[in-house]
Structure 1
Amino acid sequence: MNYNDEKKYVGNRNQLFQIKKVKLQEGKARGVTMLEVANRSGMQFDVNADRGMDIPFLSFNGENFGYISPCGVTAPEYFDDRELGFLKSFTAGFLTTCGLKIAGAPCEYEGKAYGLHGNVSHIPAAEFRYELVETDGSPYIEIQGSMLDAEIFQDKLTLKRNIRCCYREKEFTITDRVTNEGYKKARHMILYHCNIGYPILSPASEVYIPSAKVTPRTEHAKKGLKEWYKTQQADPDYEEMCYYHKLIPDGNNHGHVAVYNPERNLGIEMEIDLVALDHFVQWKMMGAGEYVMGLEPANTTIDGIEDAIKNGSMKYLEPGESAEYRITFRILEGREDFENIKKRLNDEIENNRKENENNKE
């Protein structure tokens, strides 16, 4: 039955498509406002209205997809923006947004100190609203809000976020627009810290990141370069490894990365618009109690402002100018879903190869 037919069997549409606004009451999470969203596919996720509209929890039919750090959900007032202070309130969760003026390693630039991953993930949303839109029997939930990352005498950037989830689809899409609200040209860095955790991530999991080039971020990561795609047993002595990937695009210049666990017959795919998010970082952390795989689209490298300027990856926004980013997250239910991602990309690559050969003739 379609949505309009199913409505005849319920007294309230919350039986079919649910969105609840809740306020957490305990510990360092006290006062945090979140939305709990559940659709008819079996997918559930939360949106943290007080922390950059990030997504701490994602599950499907009761199975968890993200990684929750030891500090858990933490209210924005506990934020420490100095050096590595970010980690004291880093929920991780399924998604933490990093930026807007720096994403990545803490650094000092032009006499100003910047802490790890910037401020935007600790800014409460303004103009926050949500609605269930019933259109032609294909309803969807739309969640919107904006975060202002600004200070006097410094750059002034706004992130406007739109999250859309349809009735029966095992996916949702985040569309972000970052605008320079100031009157001077502004630097802009953004990174989507998507964190895959247990049980989707386990030693049995398969990691798919189709790369034209893989570059270890550190000398330590170079030691594990041949096994960047492998997941190991949880190891209390494991030291994190990070890799830069040059994603192979599909015909629409979109990147597709995924993690699949054959023991659970579940996985997650990310479809990334590579026009704006032209960098990709893999964070591999196989630690005991810190077992997580970060799939992280970005618009620059993440080794400091000066490094991004030097290597040419730093992005700039003129006064009033905007940049738009789009990522779709898709639940994979079964081996076929996972293999189809690979097949589609391989087929496109082969078709492009044949076209190039024909053009040469």
Structure 2
Amino acid sequence: MDRAQLTDGMASGSPVLIVRNPGGISFEVLLDRALDIGWADARGVPLGWASARGRVAAVRHEPGGAGWIHTFGGGLLTTCGLASTGMPSTVGGIAHGLHGRIGHLAADNVSWRIQGEGDDAHVEIVGDIVEAALGTPTLRLSRRIRSWIHRPELEIDDVVVNDGFRDAGHMFRHHLNLGYPLLDEDSQIETDAIVFESREEPGVASFDEIGLGVSSDAVDEQVIYARTGARAQFVLTSPSRSAALKLEWSGDSFPLLLVWRDASPGVNVLGVEPSTSRDGGRAQAQHDDEVVTLRPGEQRRYRTRIVLEQVASPRERAEGVS
């Protein structure tokens, strides 16, 4: 593991932690952005999607309105919250920008070490991110990232605590961004989640209706809302890459799954987003009773696991049948 600071362009000044893990997942931790995960790869396969904007230092964040999109570089994990996710809105005189502030806040108390032995040996990275301001609730995210050394498996284990002295409204989302080469026209989706609504009209009734190839006709993004069962998982399989990326999360604390799809040329992204609410923002979530209330000292735990599995290629399957 190496700690470094980027020096070029809009990313200049960004501190990062680089984890090189040949037997597992190699990845980059963004220390100024809530310990989010930028690039990641395993077995020669890139796992996360990168936006055309690329990496931007958190100090260049534009918190008002939809300014978030100007510093959204993609990456495997982008955290949204802690007081609001989704669309911008104003509640009680407090303006909540797109997807909240947490993903542009630097982590404190960061440390890393090797834990476990044998097959359980893993890299462990921990840190705290505090979202607070005078006259507003104090919410603290304690993040623990585990990456196993002998297999391509990574876990994000988050605990959000109300460190204040009054009740705090809380919203949270793990914004996982997938792209080429795992996302291609021959890719397949498997999930236990059941679609119940789409943000756009006409809506998408099931995951089978999502086109996974690049489309020159795609001019609008799609956002799909689904509920998961006890397993709470989403698998994106790429037969041509002989790989399947499995995402599993804590369905008890993330009751909803949002899937964001933009198939336009030059973008081609699939966002898989375990979430506490839909995408309407803080004001709409309060109306829909989708804001979590944390009492002083109360905490809520969120876990997402990312695993790259090897699958048979079309040629290997054909040879097996013959």
Q: TM-score, normalised by structure 1?
A: 0.82
Number of aligned residue pairs: give it. 313
Deviates more, 1:304-313 or 1:128-137: 128-137
Pair 1:314-2:291 in alignment: yes
Match of 1:356 in 2: none
- Percent identity between the aligned chains? 27
Q: TM-score, normalised by structure 2?
A: 0.92
Match of 1:195 in 2: 177
Match of 2:21 among 17, 35, 39: 39
One-letter code aligned to 1:195? N
Instruction: Go from structure 1 to structure 2 and tell me whether the alpha carbon gap of 1:234 and 1:56 turns closer, same or farther (over 3 Å shift).
Output: farther
Pair 1:147-2:129 in alignment: yes
State whether residues 300 and 315 of structure 1, in contact with CA within 8 Å, keep that contact through their aligned partners in structure 2. no
Pair 1:160-2:137 in alignment: no
Q: Which of the pair is proportionally richer in helix?
A: 1
Q: What value does the CA root-mean-square deviation take over the aligned residues?
A: 1.8
Match of 2:310 in 1: 333
Q: In the TM superposition, what is the alpha-carbon distance from 1:42 to its structure 2 partner?
A: 4.6
Pair 1:120-2:120 in alignment: no
State whether residues 140 and 164 of structure 1, in contact with CA within 8 Å, keep that contact through their aligned partners in structure 2. yes
User: 2:18 & 2:286 partners in 1: Cα distance?
Assistant: 40
One-letter code aligned to 1:288? P
Pair 1:109-2:91 in alignment: yes
Match of 1:277 in 2: 254
User: 2:119 & 2:237 partners in 1: Cα distance?
Assistant: 32
Match of 1:246 in 2: 227
Match of 1:14 in 2: none
- Structure 1: 5+ residue runs without aligned partners? 1-18, 337-361
One-letter code aligned to 2:107? A
Match of 1:73 in 2: 55
- The answer to which structure, 1 or 2, has the higher relative contact order (CA under 8 A, 6+ apart) is 2
One-letter code aligned to 2:28? D
Match of 1:92 among 61, 70, 74: 74
One-letter code aligned to 1:262? P
User: 1:197 & 1:56 partners in 2: Cα distance?
Assistant: 13
User: 1:287 & 1:301 partners in 2: Cα distance?
Assistant: 23
- Structure 2: 5+ residue runs without aligned partners? 314-322
User: 2:289 & 2:168 partners in 1: Cα distance?
Assistant: 15
Match of 1:235 among 216, 223, 239: 216
After TM superposition, the runs of 4+ consecutive aligned structure 1 residues lying more than 4 A away are 223-227
Instruction: Go from structure 1 to structure 2 and tell me whether the alpha carbon gap of 1:264 and 1:299 turns closer, same or farther (over 3 Å shift).
Output: same
One-letter code aligned to 1:119? R
User: 1:109 & 1:137 partners in 2: Cα distance?
Assistant: 49
Match of 1:300 in 2: 277
3-state DSSP class of the match of 1:309? helix
One-letter code aligned to 1:151? A
Q: In the TM superposition, what is the alpha-carbon distance from 1:35 to its structure 2 partner?
A: 1.5
